[in-house]
Amino acid sequence: MDALRPGGRLVVNAVTLEAEATLLACRARLGGGRLGGELIRVAIARAEPIGRMEAWRSAMPLTQWTWVKP
């Protein structure tokens, strides 16, 4: 974060609970809300066969944190 110039953007992706907790802690230290950046959770599911039918099988969700240095 120190290496970023003003207006620089930091983007971090997390899949594990531990990595997500780290992102949330960093965001909280920066003040949360808009000051702490933006959190996005992306979840994808694929149609897969189950017997003679199909159903959605979820992939692991991804949490993304984006922060722009003031």
Confidence of residue 66 (pLDDT cuts 50, 70, 90): very high
Q: For 10-62, what is each residue's pLDDT tens digit?
A: 999 999 999 999 999 999 999 988 889 999 999 999 999 999 999 999 999 99
Asked if pLDDT for residue 1 goes beyond 90, the answer is no
Global pTM reads 0.81
Residue 4 domain-assigned? no
Domain that holds residue 53: 9-68
Residue 3 domain-assigned? no
Query: What is the domain count for the chain?
Result: 1
Cβ atoms within 10 Å, residue 14: 18
